[in-house]
Amino acid sequence: MSLAPRSLRSQLLIGILLPLLIGFGINTTSLYRQALRAADTAYDRTLLASAKSIGEQLQVEGAGDAAHVLPTVPYSALEAFEADVRSRMYFKVSGFHGEMVTGFEDLPPWRGKLPNKGPYAALVDFYDDTYRGQPVRVAVLLQPVASHEGRGMTTIQVAETLELRQTLARQILVDTLWRQAALLMVLVAAVLWVVQRATRPVRSLSAQLRERAESDLAPIAAPDAPRELQPLLDALNQVMARLAHLLEHQKRFVRDSAHQLRTPLAVLKTQVQSALRGDVEPTQALQEMRHTVERATQLANQMLSLAKVEQLRQQGDAPVVDWAEIVRAVALDLGALIAERQLDFEIATVPAPVRAHEWALRELTRNLLHNAIRHCREGGTLAMRLVSDGRTAALTIADSGPGLAPELREHLFQPFAAGERGGGSGLGLAICGEIVRTLSGSIALDDRVSGGRVAGLDATVRVPLADNQLR
């Protein structure tokens, strides 16, 4: 089961708000860590001050190698630095040789090393550790101690539990979160308003399309639509124009079919009734009915061909074919008709690659050649010439018929407008005209005059070669 596609609004909101939420999350984490570092820096100063206070109270007794530090520092020396009863401070002083001097003996010894460039001028290092099951922050100060008798370097460790730091961190986190949340809510509201306003033309266009009648294929007028929607509207209007053209073509096809097929069917019905009454001989009646059926069949085939031209037009790109091969094949197919009328036939072709469906070129060539054969006088001349100038291919079919009647010239390529004179249906030239339009070509029928009289008709079709044809 396929999921329904998301709306444009949801995609915009997700695309905008999701990165915004991620950015706020990253920013909140970064601010929180910076605040913790600032808090650590502030409380580390207190640890350093307490260590220095202890170092100032140390005294040295003895001289030389016998010099040692006196354990004269009480725990009360740290009370001034305890800012809150929720935290506890511990200290330990080690002598010149690492021996325990005073303080909490079980405080873990320092195992680190001094930083190369610390933030303070003193020889101090800060680190995190655990003491008596509680996390602590420890400051280690290397304090020189001297007297008249001796001197040396003592190690002072001061540790503080983290209750105050954690309380401050939680308070910083809460303050950061509610400010960020308030700012985020403002931005979300602004994004919702902007997205709602930006998608209003789309909703308006959707409502306009829903309210249209099924047969309304008029162009969509949306002057207030944003520029980003204009390409979509233009493409939609082009599709609707093609649909309107196709619908009109189908209506015309149905109308013409109903009108044109009604006559041969009525004639066939009359002929059948006449034969049943015995008005004519059975053989004659069958011949007349065969002639009527043949005309109806030819008419139906030509109308289907006219409809197929429109179908090919909708298919888009066509393959490249050699028109010369099709011309020779069509001439061979109609060779029997040419021989029957004893025509002096001539054909000349050159390679002509054009982009077209083979059926369309074959139908175009067949209709033109068949018309020329029908209109040629018996024993006359008929010539087919296919030439190319590098940009277009031109097929000329020259017959020796009576030429074109003036009354037919104005409506030459309209359906059923040129069928009286030759006994045809009047669809052959209409099919040719439609095919030529799909190929972006041109077609012309010109009387050929010789000695002041019409010597025949030249039908010329020009089609762009494949390299120059619009795709």
pLDDT for 420: 45
Beta bridge partners of 135: 130
Res 304: pLDDT: 67
Q: Determine the pLDDT at residue 85.
A: 56
Q: What is the pLDDT of residue 188?
A: 84
Rg (the chain; Cα; Å)? 51
Domains of the chain with bracketed CATH:
8-171 (3.30.450), 232-314 (1.10.287), 320-464 (3.30.565.10)
pLDDT averages per 10-residue partition of the chain, 471 residues: 61 80 83 79 83 81 70 61 67 83 86 72 84 90 78 86 82 82 85 81 78 77 74 82 75 64 72 79 81 72 64 68 93 90 93 87 88 89 93 93 75 57 58 82 88 87 78 42
Cβ–Cβ < 8 Å for 395, 327: yes
pLDDT for the residue 298: 65
pLDDT at 421: 46
pTM of the predicted model over 0.85: no
What is the reported pLDDT for 419?
A: 46
